[in-house]
Amino acid sequence: MVDAKLMHKPPFTAYWLPGGEIFIRRESTILRIQSASRSCELIEYSAAWEQKLESFNTSKKEIYGIFGQKKLVDNNYLILIEEATMLGQLFTACSEIYRVEKLMFVNLRNTKNPFEIAQSDQQYVEMMLNL
């Protein structure tokens, strides 16, 4: 087993904007998530979008993918794959198989601190992290 970061750069970059918008970019596509309106859209990546994302005072992080979305007691969370280990390849088609090592929970209702887990949700997040 190999740490995926040693072999492959994470294919996605996630950007968090102060107003609660999240952008997840992979190559020529951007997924825009607006937590206030609970909507998302796919955007074609361009140099203009790159400048726009870099011009915002954003937090950004390289990730391995989107694990899912979960509604807990008080909040909705976007679950991202923060770390992964490559286990092997499927045939020779370069389809890598990864084991998820670390998840990141992004609170879609907390626009000031999207990484803060609500107290009422903490025990359920911990249960998911310990699976």
Give the model's pLDDT for residue 93.
64
The domain of 70 spans 2-129
> β-strand 39-44 against 59-63: which pairing, if any?
unpaired
Total count of domains within the chain: 1
pLDDT reading at 7 higher than 70: no
Is the pTM above the cut of 0.85?
no
- The end-to-end CA distance of the chain, in Å, is 19
Per-residue tokens: 78 = 């976007």
Give the model's pLDDT for residue 91.
73
**Cβ atoms of 42 and 3 closer than 8 Å:** no
The string of pLDDT tens digits covering residues 8-55 is: 778 888 888 777 788 888 888 888 888 767 788 888 888 888 888 777
pLDDT reading at 1 higher than 60: no
Give the model's pLDDT for residue 80.
92
Give the model's pLDDT for residue 81.
92
Q: Write the DSSP string, 9-67.
A: --SEEEEE-TTSEEEEEETTEEEEEETTTTEEEEEE--HHHHHHHHHS--EEEEESEEE
pLDDT reading at 4 higher than 60: no
Per-residue tokens: 72 = 């807990």
Contacts of 113 (CB under 8 A, 6+ apart): 107
The string of pLDDT tens digits covering residues 51-98 is: 887 777 667 888 998 998 888 998 888 899 999 988 888 776 667 788
SS3 116: coil
What would the mean pLDDT of 114-123 be, rounded to a whole number? Answer: 86
Residue of 55 and 127 predicted with greater confidence: 127
Give the model's pLDDT for residue 113.
76
